[in-house]
Amino acid sequence: MQAGDRTDPKAVMRMLNLEIVKNYDELSDRAAAKVAALVKEKRDAVLGLATGATPEGMYARLVRMHRAEEVSFSSVTTFNLDEYESLPPGHPQSYHYYMHRHFFSHINISPQRINIPLCSGLSVEAFCLDYDSRIEAAGGIDLQILGIGSNGHVGFNEPANSLLLGTHLVELAEETIRDNSRHFDSPGDVPRRAITMGIGSIMQAGEIVLLASGKGKARAIADSLSGRVTTAVPASLLQLHPRVTFIIDKEAASIIEP
């Protein structure tokens, strides 16, 4: 970092919506409330969805709200951010499996309106182009939910010299493989490649909500809200989005607000 080229983090935070909440429960409450509010207002909302441990609490709350007949997903369309390339949908660590287990099996969404990247039959290139066309045909994503990798990745857009705008096949970073190996028997079982929505598809969403919980995310959050935009920290590009909210707990905020 050169002298004089830092933006005051407080100034960045004033530009973005930053909600620092007490803990994971509060984070999940806030995230679910945002999704529910949109779906109540726009029955045919298009949601961009994320996997990982972070949004599990949000999904649990949305399922609860659905069971209490507070919210209906019958006209909602969803696009998931990413999926491991080599895992079949029935594999317990696949994001297909995750989404059905935590959300889709418990709500009244129509299966035809669920989109998760999985390339079968088509070439990867054709599949990725088709995924982006499907997002466009649905009218674009109204609300994109994001987690964040400890290296600042969003979806599986890993730190790199340049980032791709559209959906694409990606080699996972060693750090991501290490982080995600906690879900597998051994690091060797973690797939090396994934299909992810590109940074362009994410940035085109009408609204973005990024969720982060725990100390392990504090560095990535600080780097994403530093006032510097760099493909070395993919989440830092979100600072350019006109309607983005970071909902993070105290631990994830521990570097920006010690």
Where on the chain is the footprint of ligand GLP (CB under 6 A)? Answer: 50-54, 81-82, 147-149, 155-156, 176, 180
From edge to edge, which strands make up the β-sheet containing 193-196?
Answer: 82-84, 193-196, 168-171
Return the number of the residue (53 or 232) whose C-beta is nearest ligand GLP: 53
Encoded amino acid at 82, one letter: D
Rounded least distance, CB 186 to ligand GLP, Å: 17
Return the number of the residue (72 or 178) whose C-beta is nearest ligand GLP: 178
Euclidean distance between CA atoms 79 and 68, whole angstroms: 25
Q: Is 180 a catalytic residue?
A: no
The phi, psi pair for 222, rounded to 5°, reads -60, -40
Contact assessment for residue 168 and residue 125, using Cβ atoms and an 8 Å cutoff: no
Rounded least distance, CB 67 to ligand GLP, Å: 24
Return the number of the residue (103 or 156) whose C-beta is nearest ligand GLP: 156
Rounded least distance, CB 156 to ligand GLP, Å: 5
Supply the DSSP symbol for 115.
Answer: E
Tally of CA atoms within 13 A in the half-sphere of 73 that contains its CB? 26
Rounded least distance, CB 128 to ligand GLP, Å: 16
Return the number of the residue (45 or 235) whose C-beta is nearest ligand GLP: 235
Strand partners, 134: none
Per-residue CA distances from 223 to 18, 175, 228 (Å): 14, 16, 8
Q: Is 158 a catalytic residue?
A: yes
Euclidean distance between CA atoms 59 and 37, whole angstroms: 14
Task: Map tokens 């659905």 to a residue.
Answer: 66
Return the number of the residue (110 or 216) whose C-beta is nearest ligand GLP: 216
Residue closest to ligand GLP (Cβ): 147
Ordered DSSP codes for 7-75: PPHHHHHHHSEEEEESSHHHHHHHHHHHHHHHHHH-TT-EEEE--SSTTHHHHHHHHHHHHTTS---TT
Rounded least distance, CB 3 to ligand GLP, Å: 34
Among 158, 179, 207, 223, the one annotated catalytic? 158
Among 151, 157, 180, 249, the one annotated catalytic? 151
Q: Is 100 a catalytic residue?
A: no
Return the number of the residue (82 or 142) whose C-beta is nearest ligand GLP: 82
Among 82, 85, 179, 249, the one annotated catalytic? 82
Among 66, 153, 168, 241, the one annotated catalytic? 153
Per-residue CA distances from 234 to 28, 60, 86, 98, 213 (Å): 23, 28, 24, 24, 18
Q: Is 82 a catalytic residue?
A: yes
Rounded least distance, CB 177 to ligand GLP, Å: 9
Give the residue numbers marked as catalytic. Answer: 82, 151, 153, 158
